[in-house]
Chain A
Amino acid sequence: MHFVTGGAYNGKRKWVKKHYPITSYWCSAYDSARLEAPLEAENLLVVVLEGVEQWVGRLLDEETTPSAIREKMAQEIQAWLEWEKANDKRKLIIIGTDITKGIVPIEKRDRLWRDAVGWVYQDIAERAEKMDVIWYGVAQQLK
């Protein structure tokens, strides 16, 4: 799994498209897509899950604590990692926008959102084989 992060409007999607020109499934939270469970379709090889912070944000309505959200997201990601592992040709790319470096938000919900996103990104980064931070189109490989 390849984790790609960085600030908003930094060209993360463009970078992923350049490095993975052929993707068979692009699941984007920005198109209001839900984070789907893996599908066992034969032609599904390169999968991009985009907008992790949005899926985390939506979970704030269902779960009460950041740690419950962390757990839920870990399960969802785990299912995809197993999908990837089952076949050598499969490749999983996860894109998440870094929303954790601003001033502490006034709203409690926003504070919880940041907390949860920070934790989820740590978990994803730990499981990733490769990780890049995109800074205005320039990648800094951290892992």
Chain B
Amino acid sequence: MEEGRMILISGGVRSGKSSFAEKIATDLHLQSPNTKLHYIACGVASDKEMTERILRHQKDRHASDVYWETWECAYDVYEIASSFGKKDILVLDCVTTLLNNYLFLRKMEDAEQVIQQIWKDVSNLRKTGAAIILVSNEVVHEIPSSTELVQRYQYILGKLHQQIVGEADSAYLVEAGIPVCMKGEKR
């Protein structure tokens, strides 16, 4: 089956990544109204802070003029891939929470295995022919951590981002709400 369009959106915390991802998805939807919007939320309401963050994102989507189907999926996202097809537009928010969940909920330790697992999730979504917009974070521009876990986290995310950007149709870095197109056609 033909693979759908893939777009990566990365940026710092509270840079407006999710809003931009939703905007791209909404624009795609308005261009072809017979499509359907889906929001794959990987965050787990593990504490009060996370619950509030999730609520804020939900409120934003409810306030929008278009309908979003929400899928809560902490990991093994590939399992819901069969629900999608060519007429679907997916926003996956976000790669880092997915990574957190594999490391801390599923307690996976091997870096290469985690990379493979997340790549399996992403590529299975793509294989459905749906357009897929991945939201992720910038976390590697700091003093090298002496903690092995942090190093492994950065290694995994860096490798995944390289792989995703390599195959993506376009990739954006969002700086304080302003998207900078790093690859592909600017929208």
Residues of A within 8 A of B (CB): 7-11, 14, 97-103, 105, 110, 113-114, 135-138, 140
Contacts and interface: CB of A to CB of B under 8 A. Distances in A.
B165 A9 contact: no
Interface in B137-187: 138, 140-144, 154-155, 157-159, 161-162, 164-166, 171, 173, 182-183
B143 A102 contact: yes
B159 A102 contact: no
Contacts of A110: 143
Contacts of B165: 135-138
B143 A9 contact: no
Given A8-B158, A9-B157, A9-B158, A136 B171 contact: yes
B140 A8 contact: yes
A38 to B, nearest CB: 27
Contacts of B144: 8, 97, 99
B155 A9 contact: yes
28 contacts: A7-B138, A7-B140, A7-B141, A7-B158, A8-B144, A8-B158, A9-B140, A9-B155, A10-B140, A10-B158, A97-B144, A99-B141, A99-B143, A99-B144, A100-B141, A101-B141, A101-B142, A102-B142, A102-B143, A110-B143, A135-B165, A135-B182, A136-B161, A136-B165, A136-B166, A137-B165, A137-B166, A138-B183
A114 B143 contact: yes
Contacts of B143: 99, 102, 105, 110, 113-114
B136 to A, nearest CB: 10
Contact of B158 (A99, A101, A136): A136
B154 A136 contact: no
Given A9-B159, A136-B162, A136-B171, A102 B141 contact: yes
A102 B171 CA distance: 22
A140 B172 CA distance: 12
Nearest to A114: B143
